[in-house]
């Protein structure tokens, strides 16, 4: 096994560190009581949608799987978060009307009495960018877990979302187009784990358990 760190260019080269590496024989184990067996704990979209599906009933556009930069200039990422060369999911704002949304649904997630931590990376760059929301859909009853609106950064940002649900539910990523065609929104490297988010307490109000870096 070889770990390789590369710089995109002489001017774009940061620090890289590794720690606590463990290698065991056999399949990787998901955390007990985590998810339905068909839903992976981590999805980087390199091999497909990881069981995510488009919400054909309640949205007006689709998320798209893409590699490289988005077609419209001055919006969207230049590459995926994982390696810069792989795939990510995004909404292409140019064919959408302002206010239209696209929803991506996970497989059903088993309920648990304890906290759960959803981690993912998102990209919201472009003039008059719209809104990205994360919801828990419990048989049609939706709970808002996290949201951001407007331009956030030209870089990928990380979100930690701590929540609790004793009922089976689906995680929903809902992206809404803003007033400009330069309002592409992207997500990548989604991970759902059993237990609280690191150094983040589960709260009762939206936003109290979210961390961005």
In a domain, 203, yes or no: yes
pLDDT at position 12:
65
For the chain, what is the domain count? 1
User: pLDDT tens, 87-104?
Assistant: 999 999 999 999 999 999
In a domain, 32, yes or no: no
pLDDT at position 43:
95
In a domain, 181, yes or no: yes
The pair of structure tokens assigned to 87 is 């795939």
* Residue 205: domain span: 42-212
In a domain, 16, yes or no: no
Of 171, 213, 175, 160, which is closest to residue 75 (Cα–Cα)?
Answer: 175
pLDDT at position 17:
84
In a domain, 92, yes or no: yes
User: Residue 139's domain is classified under what CATH number?
Assistant: 2.60.120.200
The residues, any chain, with a CB within 8 Å of residue 77's CB and separated by 6 or more, are: 69, 70, 88, 90, 123, 125, 156, 186
In a domain, 196, yes or no: yes
In a domain, 198, yes or no: yes
In a domain, 60, yes or no: yes
Which ranges of the chain have pLDDT less than 70?
8-12, 20, 22, 24-40, 200-213
Of 5, 124, 9, 133, which is closest to residue 70 (Cα–Cα)?
Answer: 124
């Amino acid at each position: 096994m070889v770990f390789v760190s590369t710089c995109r260019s002489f001017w774009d080269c940061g620090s890289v560190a590794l720690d606590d590496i463990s290698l065991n024989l056999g399949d990787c184990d998901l955390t007990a009581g985590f998810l339905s067996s068909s839903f992976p704990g981590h999805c980087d979209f390199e091999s497909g949608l990881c069981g995510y599906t488009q919400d054909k009933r309640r949205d007006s556009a689709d998320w798209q799987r893409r590699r490289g930069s988005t077609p419209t200039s001055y919006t969207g990422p230049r590459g995926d978060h994982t390696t810069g060369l792989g795939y990510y999911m995004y909404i292409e704002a140019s064919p959408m009307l302002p206010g239209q949304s696209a929803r991506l649904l996970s497989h059903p997630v088993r309920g648990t009495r304890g906290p759960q931590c959803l981690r993912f990376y998102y990209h919201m760059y472009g003039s008059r960018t719209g809104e990205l929301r994360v919801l828990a859909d419990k048989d049609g009853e939706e709970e808002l877990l996290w949201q951001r609106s407007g331009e956030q950064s030209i870089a990928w940002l990380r979100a930690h979302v701590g929540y609790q649900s004793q009922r089976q539910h689906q995680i929903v990523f809902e992206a809404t187009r803003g007033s400009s065609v330069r309002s592409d929104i992207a997500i990548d490297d989604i991970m759902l784990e059993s237990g609280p988010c690191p150094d983040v307490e589960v709260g009762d109000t939206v936003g109290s358990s979210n961390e961005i870096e």
